[in-house]
Amino acid sequence: MYQPPGPPQEPPPKLYPLLGEENIRKLLRYHYELLSHSEIKDLFPTGEELNKSAEKNADFFIQILGGPPYFSQKYGPPMMRARHLKFSINYKKREIWLQCFFKAIQKLKQEIEFPEKEEKKFKEFLIRFSEWMINEK
């Protein structure tokens, strides 16, 4: 099994107060909607299960961005790399996931103010985080 360098650094802590819970949830719904039409859509559930996955992922991002610890309260410690080992994740799949996330950010930016400095830091975190999820070359 491929072991990437990492783990990633912590995400920018100012994002939860800046975006708020509902906008983080909206961002993850946008992300999952894009993923559901991507080349890696088979890695994700469909229908209502896709919505549940988006909400679970939103709980994770709310927690790591400085909000309430919803993810840990519901599912235990995040341990995201371990949770994703059952999926084959290579550089191409990681890049598709990442580009869908960047598009979701752009969509959210059409609705709210997202300071460029904080957006840049968040994208840098996502790049490192997604590299940490890679488990095959």
User: What is the C-alpha separation between 5 and 134, in angstroms, rounded?
Assistant: 10
Query: How do residues 46-82 score in pLDDT, each as one tens digit?
Result: 999 999 999 999 999 999 999 999 999 999 999 988 9
Provide mean pLDDT across the span 16-23. Answer: 96
Confidence band, pLDDT 50/70/90 cuts, at residue 105: very high
User: What is the C-alpha separation between 67 and 17, in angstroms, rounded?
Assistant: 8
User: What is the C-alpha separation between 137 and 131, in angstroms, rounded?
Assistant: 11
Which pLDDT value is given to residue 1?
Answer: 67
Q: Give the domain ranges of the chain.
A: 15-133
Pick the CATH number of 15-133 from 1.10.490.10, 3.40.50.300, 3.30.70.1230, 3.40.50.10470: 1.10.490.10
Query: How do residues 109-123 score in pLDDT, each as one tens digit?
Result: 999 999 999 999 999
